[in-house]
Amino acid sequence: MEVEMTGVIMKFFVTSMLMWIAPVAILYAFNHDLIPGVTQLSPHSLTLLSGFVAVISVNIVIAFYIYMAIKEPSDKHEPDPAFLAEAKASVSQSAGKVGDSSQSLKKEE
């Protein structure tokens, strides 16, 4: 169980970092003329294009994370029988208390 959680946390950490790094790198590349052909664009067009590409990159990272989550093995987890028994007893006990309090209200009327 610990190994699975470590893998999940690592995937989340990596995709979170990509969600920060990818758009910043794209904006940096556009603003410092690292991409060929962007020097011919007006500042307004450059801002729009770089922002659009940065947003698309974040959406690609999110889609990749969703794809990885879907492809994870889904073991059917069975709840602990002792926990289930305790939970059922707790629910039936609280339901019994509610019934008792409604009967005492009727007696008072």
Report field, pTM of the whole predicted structure over 0.85: no
**Cβ contact 57:22 at 8 Å:** yes
Task: Please write the tens of the pLDDT for every residue from 48-57.
Answer: 999 999 999 9
64 and 15 within one domain: yes
Are residues 68 and 84 located together in one domain of the fold?
Answer: no
Domain identity same for 71 and 85: no
Number of domains making up the chain: 2
10 vs 8: which has the higher pLDDT: 10
In this structure, the answer to whether residues 102 and 89 fall within a common structural domain is yes
Question: For 57-106, what is each residue's pLDDT tens digit?
Answer: 999 999 999 999 888 877 766 778 888 889 899 998 877 666 555 555 55
Q: Which residue has the higher pLDDT, 108 or 56?
A: 56
67 and 22: one domain?
A: yes
User: pLDDT tens across 17-38, in order?
Assistant: 999 999 999 999 999 989 898 8
How far apart, in whole angstroms, are the C-alpha atoms of residue 17 and residue 22? 8
Looking at the structure, tell me whether residues 51 and 91 fall in a common domain. no
Do 85 and 71 lie in a common domain?
no
Statement to judge: residues 51 and 8 lie in one domain = yes
Domain with 100, as residue range(s), is 80-109
Residues 99 and 53 in one domain: no
